[in-house]
Chain A
């Protein structure tokens, strides 16, 4: 009998984590990692930060020698174009077929492309290739325009300013990071960018983009025209779920998986940005596009592929570095339909605060600016029994750790 084979499609950090966990758990079968990108899986977060600044190169999650050592077959620069669930085969571009016993789909997302916003001088950022091209463009530019005041846009703007460039940020919503932070906290971030010299123009829709005769690009907006040398577009993402959809899997906004990352097809799992999972306490299925989450997905999914039924319960966490400021968050901040109240600890004026989502005496999530320790504490509290009031959270003299319910000694538990 031949050895079982696990095929992983996608070359992000989640894939690398899954492959490493499969070997760590003692899986001795064949592993093939298929990635459309030409390099081994690498750390994506620096691409919008240190990589643009030139203070970091491309950082592989594991170097190429590791895959060799662990007998992981790498098919890089190779696109998977079809999955046959019944025959358990993957067809690669060029026609080659690859049989699998189990399949992990980690195809990620791609930048949402605005119709008509393309051509020379327009950059989108997702891959190492995108980042290298963007770095060259920014280095050569005098004026960098950024379309979209989300995390990618804000980080690229910060890097460009650090590189001495003139920067204009165009955002349709009322302030920067509006969806993630809301109006009040988003405005704090907008203030940081303005103080660093960015021209932040919010509430403006882009009407069109055209190349200028002498080079450069003109962006027409509802608030007037902006001429720039390069336009960086960061307006959200689209899940790469077509492969799964064509195979017959449920894949509307992402690939539908259960709490253990299994799809409806036997032996087929999906993780990372592309996986749409029902989360405890959230209304519907969500895709979580965080680096740390993708890695944790990979580890848990790998164990489940080897026969465990381990539900994913890890707390979602992310960070964003802009200038010398760090934004961090733990848990999932409720959207517009969320319940509960937002409580601030620290000072918006001093740009050092944590905003807690408090619901029924429990902390559901936190987002903080320059207070990473709070986020560490909350990350632990969320999964433990705790009680918190708005007053306690505002009181900076009270360590957050103290909100954990005291562990009850076993003797008392027995009597209770």
Chain B
């Protein structure tokens, strides 16, 4: 039997072929920095951050549309806290709120119901951003809105699904030797959802939780699989993740949403990598389908290369100079879960 000490020493002393492993979940990115894991690994194990922070991959055209809505008469944008600071091409929701735009921050989409009931003359547009993890919560809001006969609740969706993004990344020449699969996404869609990708690209996936030991164990498992070039999905988060996932949540997603093409900030349009409300629920949509155009990146910004693991944050010419958490130029510096934000905070964990 191996102890955590054995695992830590294996990862520290690993001397096989150089492995580039990608974590595709923003919470993993944050947790890896938080626990100082990067500095515990052999130089031959490189961890890179993928496009798994929902805030980071939301295109600026979407933010611009939210800003327009927030400034419209009798319209209020409802959002989670971390969307407030994301820069669009004409500023952020937070800045617009300071100038009088109507923006409400909530902790749950269901809080929208209370707002909408109290102010029937105002249309509340929820900024529905996220992956398969967050999307089911929006279906609960829709269910309640329908049940309560609300006519003043809308969603502006920028929902993304993970497997297609990983496929695209590999098709575009991403030289990744293994993926740390997102634990929360897998809790909804099931670990089996990554099996076709493992087979197609002959590459291992390790499903990981978010604790220090869970992450270390999953990285260990992934290194062992990558070393042996084992094209499989292993579940290192069995307390939460099953092969099939959460059947109720999946059913709700199927009921309300359909796959659509989606623009990922820094990566462009990826076919069928998003979710859009089905035609039957179009009356609850605030025009999400029209937001496929993304504005150009800021001059010098390398978010596109960083989100796909081709560059490390420190290799971007803006990193730590004009681009800091206080004044983010690119998407990866905006959110706590962005790879640039975390690298800025922790020096890459190589202290």
Partners in one complex: no
Please list the residues of chain B having a beta carbon within 8 angstroms of any beta carbon in chain A.
Answer: none
